[in-house]
Each structure stands twice: as C-alpha cells, then as structure tokens.
C-alpha cells in the first residue's frame, strides 16, 4: 500500500476536510506537515460538524495524528482546539496526538507583528489572517524561533527570548505597536509547558517505524498550491511551501514520503483575501455560487470571492504540485446553471498565456479565456455513482480532466462523508 498526500489545487477552501476525513478512515496515521492555524478544515459526520485548524483530521476517526516540524504551532490555539473537540466527544490525548519536538511555536508577539504590518500596508494589504504565521516562519529561518523542545529547558528558553524580543520589540515599536515583556512571556510559556510536552517527541522516528511496518500514512496539506510561498501568486500567499514535496521535509521523512498525490479542487473556484483571481465574478452568478456553496472561511469567517473553474490554474498546480489525481468537490453547487464556463488560458496585454506568470503585475492584468459548456437541469447532490449523474455533468467533469491533464479520481457531491464517487483508491499501490 502507498502513502497518500492531499493538497489543494486552487487557493485553498476546496473542501479538503471532507476528503481527508474520508481517506483517514483508510489510513493508519494522519500527518500535518506545513502551515499553522490560519487554515481550517470542516468535517461533517452525521449530525456533528467539526472545525479543525491544527489537529490532523484523523482525530475524528480515532486515528493517530501527528503535527510535523513543518507546522508552526500556536500553543493557545492548539489547546483550545483540543478542548473544543473533546467537548464534542473526540478523544485527543498523548496516545492519539504527537507533536514534533522541533516544531516552532507561534507566540503572541508574532500575531501582534502580523497585524501591525498589515495595518501599515494600508491599501496594499496582502490578506493575512493576522495570526502570526508569517512572522513565526521568519523566526524559524532566522534561527531565533522558540521550538516545542525549548519548553523543557527553562534556561534555554530564557536566553532565546532575549534574542527574540530584541528583534520583535524593535519592529513593534517602529510600527507604533505595544512591545512585550520577557518575564511575562517566560512565565506564560513555562505555565504551558506541562500541558504541551506530553505530546512532544521525535516524530521522525515514529514515522520511520511506521514506514518499516508498511503502515498507511496520509499527509494532510493545509492550504493550496497557488498559496505556496514559491509557486503561488506571490506575495498574496502563505509563508510555507504547500506542495506535496514538502510532506517529507515537514515531517522528518525522506523524499519518497508523499506517495500518491491527490489534489483537491472545487468544481468552480474561490479565493479568500486579496490577490489576483482571473475568473472572479462580481455579478449575480458569483453571488449565487457563494450563496449556494456557503462560501465563508472556516477559520476567519471571511466571505470568499467566487468565480468559474480555472482549468489553466489547476493545470499549473498539477504540474508544480506533483498531483497525480484530482478530487473534485461541490459539483452539486452547479446544479441548475444553464451555462457553465471553464477558463482555458489568459490574455495579458493582448498576448496569450496558457499559465499564470510569476510577475505580480502580469497576474493582476490576466484576463480569462473561456470555453462554454451546457449545464444540467438534474441534481447531482448526494450522487454515489456515475449512473446517478446527469450526462452534462459527466461531460463537464471529463472536460476538466482533459484541460488539467490529470484524472478525476474522486468526486464529492455533498458535505456528507459518504456522498462520494470513487474511481480509484489513492491508497492502492
């Protein structure tokens, strides 16, 4: 059996939560390998709805969850999430959740700096959630991060806080924001240490043992390829690499860790926050997509921008993200549309492009080239086989496969776990 890595193939919010939850029931271990609590997955199981930000989705299935070293961990957010899902009946203990001892922590000063910078940008905001993810990754790269393992060494923690505050308080003061006191931060971290350290371990060793035993590992991406800090619509991106190749480095496994890569894409397209969005619809159709799709961010509650499916963008994500198959979600939202459109490329200053260029100005000027398809009058909601789908819906899915140059191997037709059409088991070797 092969490992499976799930990543978003658009700008996030593609419905990864349901697909991860569905696949987690077939896995032994579920691993988060990048991002922070700036992204979330909504899982609907029966009459319960679980909203997860840091916890691997496998906890809903009672599977071992691992938060890898590629994740930046806000201890307050994590502990609050554990309390919330525990109140819903889930069991989250050191036996069901492990955290990489070398994972960096997000501290209150990171969120303060994040928000202060965004406010200072004025009209040039990039759409950050203000939760400190970017500044925490900066500290990691600059070698001044506080990591989970530091909580076990008070002297190390105190010394590292000196360096951290020298940097951050200078920046905060320059931005006109409040600065932080070392003693207060140190006391808070030492108070949290006994609650976090029981979950900590060298997870690379556990994963190596799992690999040797042939265990099925599911790697759960938090955002999407077009938010990747290298390959996305920079600077309107997240602060980590979101592509599948990060699964190994973000968990302590080798380059073959990712296994089969499944990309998640909506049957249309959405984006939260600022940044280019060539197929965005500022009209009644866009409003209807948002209304029918309940398009609000899981973590922030922000309204999502909506538009037609961008096949050129997803094809690009397939190539740079290493995607071998697509899981297409929310097909039922398109029920009843008389005409549907697929973006097959762009024009930028009159020149044709089959991809979205890296330059910020070119991205902003990209205009979609559309292909029209006939909609369908029947319902796809709740369909669990191809035979349940209208012919025009099948044609729409097949055309997407052709344009993005990847097969649709899984089709989701409602938020319910079992309303899924599986063409190929991703865990099959």
Beta-sheet pairing, 269-271 with 305-307: antiparallel
| Closest alpha carbon to 338 in 282, 386, 305, 377 | 377
Query: How far apart (Å, rounded) are the C-alpha atoms in residues 144 and 139?
Result: 5
| Closest alpha carbon to 99 in 64, 59, 69 | 69
Q: What is the pLDDT of residue 167?
A: 95
Q: For 108-197, give the CATH class.
A: mainly alpha
SS3 of residue 345 by DSSP: strand
Q: What is the pLDDT of residue 297?
A: 65
Stated pTM of the model: 0.92
pLDDT tens by residue, the chain, 429 residues: 589 999 999 998 898 877 887 888 889 999 999 999 977 677 777 778 888 889 998 888 889 999 999 999 999 999 999 999 999 999 999 999 999 999 999 999 999 998 898 888 887 877 777 889 999 999 999 999 999 999 999 999 999 999 999 999 999 999 999 999 999 999 999 999 999 999 999 999 999 999 999 999 999 998 899 999 999 999 999 999 999 999 999 999 988 899 999 999 999 999 988 899 999 999 999 999 999 998 876 566 678 999 999 999 999 999 999 999 999 999 999 999 999 999 999 999 999 999 999 999 999 999 999 999 999 998 999 999 999 999 999 999 999 999 999 999 999 888 877 888 988 888 876
**Fold match flag (4-99+200-261 vs 265-422):** no
Query: How far apart (Å, rounded) are the C-alpha atoms in residues 371 and 137?
Result: 40
Which element (helix H / strand E) includes 309? strand 309-310
Which residues on neighbouring strands pair with residue 345, listed in sequence order?
369
- 4-99+200-261 CATH: 3.40.440.10
Q: Where are the domains of the chain?
A: 4-99+200-261, 108-197, 265-422
Instruction: Cite the active site residues.
Output: 13, 41
Structure tokens at 256: 């073959």
| Closest alpha carbon to 55 in 32, 89, 21 | 32
Q: What is the pLDDT of residue 171?
A: 94
User: Strand 200-201's sheet: what is its strand order?
Assistant: 200-201, 97-100, 64-67, 29-32, 217-224, 4-8, 260-266, 325-329, 408-412, 420-422
Spell out a b/e string for 103-131, using b for 16 or more CB atoms within 10 Å of the CB, else e: bbbbbebbbbbbbbbbeeeeeeeebbbbb
Beta-sheet pairing, 420-422 with 408-412: antiparallel
Query: How far apart (Å, rounded) are the C-alpha atoms in residues 163 and 231?
Result: 32
Q: What is the pLDDT of residue 424?
A: 84
Taking CA atoms, 46 is separated from 19, 336, 422, 426, in Å, by: 15, 27, 20, 24
Backbone conformation region of residue 381, classed left if phi is above 0, alpha if psi is from -120 to 50, else beta: beta
Query: How far apart (Å, rounded) are the C-alpha atoms in residues 153 and 360?
Result: 44
Q: What is the pLDDT of residue 301?
A: 67
Query: How far apart (Å, rounded) are the C-alpha atoms in residues 423 and 410?
Result: 6
Q: What is the pLDDT of residue 50?
A: 84
CATH superfamily of 265-422: Adenylosuccinate Synthetase, subunit A, domain 3 (3.90.170.10)
Q: What is the pLDDT of residue 299?
A: 60
């Amino acid at each position: 059996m092969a490992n499976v890595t799930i990543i978003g193939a658009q700008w996030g919010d593609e419905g990864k939560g349901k697909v991860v939850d569905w696949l987690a029931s077939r896995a032994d271990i579920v691993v988060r390998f990048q991002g922070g609590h700036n992204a979330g997955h909504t899982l609907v199981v029966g009459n319960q709805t679980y909203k997860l930000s840091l916890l691997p989705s496998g906890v809903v299935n009672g599977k071992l969850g691992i938060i890898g070293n590629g994740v930046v961990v806000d201890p307050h957010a994590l502990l609050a999430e554990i309390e919330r899902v525990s109140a819903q009946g889930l069991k989250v203990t050191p036996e069901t959740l492990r955290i990489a001892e070398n994972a960096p922590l997000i501290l209150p000063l990171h969120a303060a700096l994040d928000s202060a910078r965004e406010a200072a940008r004025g009209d040039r905001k990039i759409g950050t959630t203000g939760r400190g993810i970017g500044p925490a990754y900066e500290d990691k790269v600059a070698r001044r991060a506080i990591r989970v393992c530091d909580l076990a060494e008070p002297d190390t923690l105190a010394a590292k806080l000196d360096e951290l505050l020298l940097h951050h308080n200078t920046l905060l003061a320059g931005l006109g924001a409040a600065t932080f006191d070392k003693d207060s931060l140190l006391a808070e971290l030492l108070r949290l240490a006994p609650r976090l350290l029981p979950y900590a371990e060298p997870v690379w060793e556990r994963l190596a043992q799992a690999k040797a035993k042939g265990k099925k590992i599911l790697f759960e991406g938090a955002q999407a390829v077009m938010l990747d800090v290298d390959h996305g619509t920079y600077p309107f991106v997240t602060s980590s690499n979101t592509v599948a190749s990060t699964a190994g480095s973000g968990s302590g496994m080798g380059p073959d860790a990712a296994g089969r890569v499944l990309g998640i894409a909506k049957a249309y397209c959405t984006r939260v926050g600022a940044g280019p969005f060539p197929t965005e619809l500022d009209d009644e159709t866009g409003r209807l997509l948002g209304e029918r799709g309940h398009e609000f961010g899981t973590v922030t509650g922000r309204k999502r921008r909506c538009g037609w499916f961008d096949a050129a963008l997803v094809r690009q994500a397939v190539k740079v993200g290493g995607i071998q198959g697509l899981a297409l979600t929310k097909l039922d939202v398109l029920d009843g549309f008389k005409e549907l459109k697929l973006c097959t490329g762009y024009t930028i200053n009159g020149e044709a492009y089959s991809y979205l260029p890296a330059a910020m100005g070119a991205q902003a000027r990209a205009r979609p080239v559309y292909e029209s398809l006939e909609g369908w009058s029947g319902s796809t909601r709740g369909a669990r086989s191809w035979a349940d789908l209208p012919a025009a819906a099948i044609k729409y899915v097949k055309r997407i496969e052709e344009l993005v140059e990847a097969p649709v191997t899984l089709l989701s037709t409602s938020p319910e776990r079992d309303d899924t059409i599986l063409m190929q088991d991703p865990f099959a070797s």
